Structure 1
Amino acid sequence: MERPAAPSLPDAVRGHWAERWAPPSLKPYLRLARIERPIGWWLLLLPCWWSAALAALNAGQSWPNPLHCGLFLIGAVAMRGAGCTYNDIVDRDLDTKVERTRQRPLPSGQITLKGALAFLVLQGLIGLLVLLQFNGFAIATGFASLGVVALYPFMKRFFWMPQIVLGLAFAWGALMGWAAAFGSLSGAPILLYLGSIAWVVGYDTIYALQDIEDDEVVGIKSSARFFGEQVRQGVSLCYALTVIFLAAAFTQAGAGLVSFGGLGLFALHLGWQVLHIDRNDGAGALRLFRSNRDAGLTLFAAMTLDCLI
């Protein structure tokens, strides 16, 4: 028998509609999908939109394909939820030992394992329906990501940089927008993918600072623990690689000055994050992590404007 819903988790967005208006019986499932923490699907979505914009720039189109961008939005919400559900199923025992995660729906008993598995299948089917709207090459490219997604939850048990595997999965959209537009890949989207991976490793290292003490006790490995006192230098390296690879992708695709201007603003924002990293400030780390949505949207807006002009 499922228990009543617990209060929202500490890193949930205050006043989110899922907490205010959703029926009590649905709230644990929405929490399992992290609906009340939309930053996750934003960060999954943004490389997709960058890729769609990069394809439009390369093709000389006036804007990124609106249908593709809409499908990527639906797919990002569904697949981020599915990924979180899968992660929580795998980590349900570990989550009971970490302060920030022990109130998640599975470890706290709000949802049964059978209910979580059924919810995982439902979200996966939504993602599949979205993927099937694209061309055959894009569909195959999307399916190719599943192996990395399945591997990620296990990496933190023995690999000191599980954020690299997370990056391989979370940055996959950098390939998808181009694949959906052209039915193939080339150097530009691959460079965009490499830059997006470095971005994910950087921002998720900041995110992992929230759990660094609990992770040390439980034995969970993370890039934040790996970098230790040099975490600022580690994130700086990741963000520098991000900008270098994105600049190379823009050059390869024939992007204009507006896109490079947006990349400059993006780089300044990443530098601002680095300057404000504090290993002892978990709340500050969460704010810096969340700010990557605005950085990514700034870059996408610049690329879209570049298409228009």
Structure 2
Amino acid sequence: MIFQRLGVFPNTDSRRVHPTLNPKGRLQADTVPPSWKPFVQLSRINMPSGAFLTFWPCAWGLLASAYRAEIPLLTTLYQLPAFFVGSVVLRSIACSWNYVCDKDFDVQVKRTEHRPLAAGRVSVKATLIFTIVQAATFVAIPVYPLFKRIMYWPQVWLRCYSTFLGKLLVTSFFYVDKQSVLKSLISWTIYYDTIYATIDVKDDLRIGLKSTAVLFGSWIRPILRLLCIGFIALLIATGILNEQSFGYYGISVLPTTLLLFWEIMTWDQSNPQSAFIRFDQNGRYVGIIVACGLAIDYVLKLQT
């Protein structure tokens, strides 16, 4: 594949192992004092893909709104770091709280049995205090882990929650069509999170946890294709409604389309590392590709 030859995307048999897939449970947190390691692992700061997946939709909304309303560039540049910090904190709170809620399940799942709380490297009390301290700097503690007990679609809550927070922060200039943005983000979130959930699907079935990977079953690949098509179609619809220029379609939409369908075609459903790589690519590449097109459109519009 040309992307692999250029070194842009890794091979599905890459030797880079996701820390939680490492059977020995060694996390890449060796640069901090030993007493800090469990808390770095609780927050997953050393695994930034999730924080990027939280941040990029906020950045997209901000850039699209700034483009439509011709917000001064300096104002937008002030807002983006605030969104990033908020995304990191939100994701850290969600991860810590998730460990508390899922500790009894984590010990039964191969991928998660080495998490700090499940492995006994930190107590529930210490984790709760750590979570509350983080939450004190933000507005709420997400209830995402609890939704896995009652519904197959926990990602919908996750995306609605973050979209609501993003809208709340930029209410004064949130001019883009909210329905198309929300639907596109829900489609994208279910897509990449379903691929990630296949890592644990056997354990989830055994212990009775719900996920879209469990729900879709043997239909998972065609449904993921439909989600990709829906996401791309809604990106196009959002661009039309927001009156984006050709830069958005050429820089954001087209490369994203090629990347997502390449992911589906090359995904090895039987290989957990293949699933993680595709999850990681969405955090690292899809977000920045869409943001680049929006940013270029925005800057060019300000110059005209």
Q: TM-score range by the shorter chain?
A: 0.7 to 0.9
Counterpart selection for 2:233 from 228, 234, 244: 244
Give 1:246 deviation, angstroms.
2.0
The alignment covers a number of residue pairs equal to 278
Gaps of 5+ in 2: 1-18
* Separation of aligned partners in 1, 2:138 and 2:26: 27
Which TM-score applies when normalising by structure 1? 0.83
Counterpart selection for 1:78 from 83, 86, 89: 89
Measured against aligned partners, the alpha-carbon deviations of 1:256-281 in whole angstroms (never above 9, x if no partner) come to 11112211211221111111223211
Q: How does 1:7-26 map to 2 (within 5 A)?
A: 9-10=20-21, 19-26=29-36
Further displaced range: 294-303 or 63-72: 63-72
Counterpart for residue 299 of structure 1: 290
Assess if the C-alpha contact under 8 Å between 1:170 and 1:200 holds in 2. no
* Separation of aligned partners in 2, 1:223 and 1:239: 15
Q: Structure 1 residues 218 and 161 mapped into 2: Cα distance closer, same or farther (>3 Å)?
A: same
Counterpart for residue 153 of structure 1: 145
Q: How does 1:116-155 map to 2 (within 5 A)?
A: 116-128=127-139, 149-150=142-143, 152-155=144-147
* Separation of aligned partners in 1, 2:97 and 2:196: 20
Assess if the C-alpha contact under 8 Å between 1:52 and 1:65 holds in 2. yes
Give 1:157 deviation, angstroms.
2.1
Assess if the C-alpha contact under 8 Å between 1:62 and 1:307 holds in 2. no
Measured against aligned partners, the alpha-carbon deviations of 1:101-139 in whole angstroms (never above 9, x if no partner) come to 1111111111111111111112112335xxxxxxxxxxx
Assess if the C-alpha contact under 8 Å between 2:64 and 2:294 holds in 1. yes
Counterpart for residue 113 of structure 1: 124
Assess if the C-alpha contact under 8 Å between 2:148 and 2:210 holds in 1. yes
Measured against aligned partners, the alpha-carbon deviations of 1:149-195 in whole angstroms (never above 9, x if no partner) come to 32x2122223223333333335546x43xx54452655613321221
Assess if the C-alpha contact under 8 Å between 1:170 and 1:197 holds in 2. no
**What secondary structure does 2:95 align onto?**
helix
Counterpart for residue 4 of structure 1: none
Counterpart for residue 5 of structure 1: none
Identity %: 27
Counterpart selection for 1:94 from 79, 102, 105: 105
Measured against aligned partners, the alpha-carbon deviations of 1:78-120 in whole angstroms (never above 9, x if no partner) come to 1100011111111111111111111111111111111111111
Assess if the C-alpha contact under 8 Å between 1:75 and 1:126 holds in 2. no
Give 1:284 deviation, angstroms.
0.4
Paired AA for residue 82 in structure 2:
L
**What secondary structure does 1:91 align onto?**
helix
Q: Structure 1 residues 232 and 62 mapped into 2: Cα distance closer, same or farther (>3 Å)?
A: farther
Paired AA for residue 295 in structure 1:
V
* Separation of aligned partners in 2, 1:88 and 1:98: 13
- The alignment yields a C-alpha RMSD, in angstroms, of 2.3
Assess if the C-alpha contact under 8 Å between 2:150 and 2:210 holds in 1. yes
Counterpart selection for 1:253 from 234, 242, 250: 242
* Separation of aligned partners in 1, 2:110 and 2:64: 41
Paired AA for residue 195 in structure 2:
I
Counterpart for residue 46 of structure 1: 56
Assess if the C-alpha contact under 8 Å between 2:65 and 2:176 holds in 1. no
Q: How does 1:223-302 map to 2 (within 5 A)?
A: 223-261=212-250, 262-293=252-283, 294-302=285-293
* Separation of aligned partners in 2, 1:109 and 1:164: 31
Give 1:223 deviation, angstroms.
0.8
Assess if the C-alpha contact under 8 Å between 1:210 and 1:282 holds in 2. yes
Which TM-score applies when normalising by structure 2? 0.84
